[in-house]
Amino acid sequence: MGKADYFLIPCPFKYLTHLDCPGCGFQRAVLALVHGRLAESFQLYPPAIPFLLSAVATLTVYTLKWNKNAKELKLMYIATGIVVVVNYAYKIATHQLH
């Protein structure tokens, strides 16, 4: 058990099924990003960066009261969702579920 295991939130889906969920790896990927390890972050969970960019864009739009229905924001959400689905499909196809 690594240091991170002591403070990361456990995945209830993985606890019940012993399989990764579509979001498993996100916390570790963000932790790697915080420590400046971009390649490791991508390897742990490729959707982390698009998800975080979408979150920052959303916070910016809502904070600055810009157009909340902007097509660009919706496209970011769709692209992030696609990356999550493709990543999970790849994990399933290559049996990389832990």
Return the pLDDT at 33.
95
Q: Return d(Cα 42, Cα 44) in angstroms, integer.
A: 5
Three-state secondary structure call for residue 79: helix
Three-state secondary structure call for residue 88: helix
Taking only the tens place, the pLDDT of each residue in 4-63 is 556 788 889 888 988 889 998 999 999 999 999 999 999 999 999 999 999 999 999 888
Q: Among residues 21, 69, 13, 12, which one has the least CA distance to residue 45?
A: 21
Return the pLDDT at 3.
64
Return the pLDDT at 97.
58
| Domain map (residue ranges) of the chain | 46-98
